[in-house]
Amino acid sequence: MKLEYEQIEESFDDTTHLRTITEQARVPGKGLLLRTTVYSPHHLATSVVVVPGTGASEEAFEPVGA
- Domain membership of residue 43 (yes or no) is yes
Average pLDDT, the chain: 86
- Domain membership of residue 33 (yes or no) is yes
pLDDT for 14: 95
pTM: 0.73
| SS3 annotation, the chain | CCCCCEEEEEEEECCCCEEEEEEEEEECCCEEEEEEEEECCCCEEEEEEEEECCCCCCCCCCCCCC
pLDDT for 31: 87
- Domain membership of residue 62 (yes or no) is no
State pLDDT tens for residues 25-43.
988 888 889 999 999 999 9
- Domain membership of residue 40 (yes or no) is yes
Q: Alpha-carbon distance 9 to 2, whole Å?
A: 21
